[in-house]
Homo-oligomer: A and B are copies of this chain.
Amino acid sequence: MFNKETEYALRSMVYIQAQNLKGRKPGVDEIARATEAPRHFTAKILHRLVRGGFLLSAKGKGGGFHIDQEKPSVNIYDVVTAVEGQKIFSGCVFGLKNCSNESPCPLHNRYKSIRESLGELLSNETILSLAQKYQAYQ
C-alpha cells in the first residue's frame, strides 16, 4: 500500500505518542527496536518528521522524541500525504494523465468511490486515537 518510509513514519509516530502518554520520551534506538524498523533509516525519517512539524525532539541526556500534546493530534491522511504525496489518493488505475471526472476511464467512478472511502478512513483516525488503541505495539 504505502512505501516503507510512510510505514515507518506511522509506526514511529504511534509508538512515540503511546510512550508520551506514559510520560516517556523514547529515543531513536528504542523506537527503531519497538517498530522493527532499520535504526539509521528511522533516524532519518524522524528527523524529516521533526522538520515537517510533526514531531518535537530534545537533544542530550533525557532527550528523545515527543509530540506536542497541546495541538490536536494529526490524522493519518495528513501524515501519509506529507511523507509520500497525494499520488495514492489521486492517481488513475491505468496511470492515465487526463483521467478525471470530465473524461473518466472505464473504472474512474467506481475506483473513485473506493479511494474516497480510504481517504475518509485515514482522515478519521489520528496518531493519538491509534496510540490509545494500540498501546505501543507490545
Residues of A within 8 A of B (CB): 1-2, 4, 7-8, 10-11, 14, 36, 76, 87-88, 91-97, 105-107, 110-111, 114, 117-118, 121, 125, 129-130, 133-134, 137
Q: Quick one: which of B96, B97, B107, B117 contacts A125, CB cutoff 8 A?
A: B107
Q: Quick one: which of B97, B107, B133 contacts A121, CB cutoff 8 A?
A: B107
Q: Given A106-B133, A130-B106, does the pair A1, B88 have CB atoms closer than 8 Å?
A: yes
Q: Given A114-B114, A114-B117, A114-B121, does the pair A1, B106 have CB atoms closer than 8 Å?
A: no
Q: Quick one: which of B10, B87, B117, B129 contacts A94, CB cutoff 8 A?
A: B10
A95→B2 contact, CB < 8 A: yes
A95→B125 contact, CB < 8 A: no
Instruction: List the 4 closest pairs (A to B, CB-CB), nearest first.
Output: A7-B95, A106-B133, A1-B91, A114-B117
Q: Given A95-B7, A95-B11, does the pair A110, B121 have CB atoms closer than 8 Å?
A: yes
B2→A93 contact, CB < 8 A: yes
A92: B residues at CB distance < 8 A? 1
